Structure 1
Amino acid sequence: MNRRNFIQTSTLAAPMAVGGFSIKEIFNKSGGKHDFQLKYAPHLGMFKHHAGSDPVDQINFMAEMGFRAFEDNGMSNRDVDVQKKMGDALAKNGMDMGVFVAHKIYWNEPNLAGGDEDLRAEFLDYIKKSVEVAKRVNAKWMTVVPGHLDLRKEMGYQTQNVVESLKQASEILEPHGLVMVLEPLNFMNHPGLFLTKSAQAYEICKHVDSPSCKILYDIYHQQITEGNLIPNIEQSWDEIAYFQIGDNPGRKEPTTGEINYKNVFKYIHSKGYNDILGMEHGNFYEGKEGEEKLIQAYVESDSF
């Protein structure tokens, strides 16, 4: 019996263990880590009960479980030596580095949408610093959120202000082969933000017209904002460079909410997507048991 069949018939039949073995032990007994079809990327803290608090130990555990990528929103704020250690651990395990947040996000007041030159300069300075972070951890993508609406300006003027800022940021990133991915966020968790829908992000990317400005399609956010997931992914496909995952309601792992992730993953895989899907969600269940159920949920959702 091959490894994939073993995991599917054993792990899925019994939610936690078979014959008293944890999922980690099952993977080891089956000849190694699970062979996921897509490149799912956990984050720090997701497996703390198995791997402890050390970032390198956590990355090593993710690799043992078969995950081929990792993301860390807070990477820019970590000490340089920690960044280097994490980058080395990723390289040693053959894992790709996913997104990190590139800049200060303005949640309650306009920055890029307002067109203020000082705030634009601040944003561009963050982008320049993010180039160095990306080099240390061998990252390709960084998250950009254009910030809050400027309620005193018409939407067309705001859009042009954002586009101009992103064009200048793209000029910084293009020589390094780096990509900022624009993330539309939902109105319930983040009310009042400028960027909310996939079509809006698509239009902006077309105006910026740079390989360094693409879309981060967060499936959780877009389920809340607009639904119609697969058709919207299809419409924006040529500008999407990165996905993030979270079921709704609750923003936990697949199988815990209403999104049919098996079908969504199957569609993304059918498009030949080989890049990262960030696991930007919490654990539905607590403790070691919860971490094992989370892995099981990805094994199940990846079985298409």
Structure 2
Amino acid sequence: MMKGPLKPLSILLVTFCAAVFDLPAQTPSSGPPASAAQPAPTSPAIPNVSAEMQQEAARSDVTYLRSYLVYRYDYKQQQRDVTANRFRLRGVYGFGPQKRLGVAVTVPFILQTNSAQTAFGLGDIEPQFGGNLYLSRRFRTGAAVEFTLQTATNSQLGGNTTIIKPAWGFTAVPTDRNELNCVFNYNRSIHVSRGAKIDEFEPDCTINTRRFGATEYVEWDSYYQFAQNQLAQTMQIGFSRTSRREKQCVLSPYVSFPLNQFGRQTQFIVKVGMDISWFSSTEPR
């Protein structure tokens, strides 16, 4: 039994060691030692890999089905002096065993201007349903189907066609700091109100790497239009960073540009934007 100055000195030493080595601090006691705190469970969908990188790369990962909300803003400059400001709210909800199933919905509001007129209002709402087909330590694969509904309040903002968009994708995690996301979409009109129908294949591949406290990424997105037998290619460069104080919040600025002339004609001249994501604190990462 320690007496005099030795007991407070031992308490101070134990506390210092706990702070340095991230161990639970315990005071000397003659009773039985307190049981060690149990570590928080790890999400079975993302074991033994960087949880922050997985969270920061969720925007391009069809297999990441943790529940979260994301506010998206982007500005696009297109051909014929057309500009568009899009404000989109997207919600994802994961459920089922190991969060292998998910539903999502995107609600857009668009401000679009050209040389003749300006339009603002609701765009086409996009619900999505999907799930993971296979889960392992370093590889996941899943499928989804998305619909573009004719809900636009102005014909300039959409509403020309109802689209079905089946997709298959995978995520490969070779190391804790590197990740590859690929998704292959097929966009096809199932009902056309006016204009031409959409029939295109859209492969999208993203390389993520986590360095300097953030996830930097390069995304190649392309659209092969069967009617014109041409491939429109675009590239997006950006980074995602988790808030140091609020771990559930992720900020993701980016810039996009076309890689060929057909991409410039059909997609955009330049696009800049930012995503702000908020993840549920009740779910393990």
Question: Fold conserved (TM > 0.5)?
Answer: no
Higher relative helix content: 1
For the pair shown, the structure with the greater C-alpha radius of gyration is 2
- Of structures 1 and 2, the one with the larger relative CO (CA 8 A, separation 6+) is 1
Higher relative strand content: 2
Could you tell me the TM-score, scaled by structure 1's length? 0.29
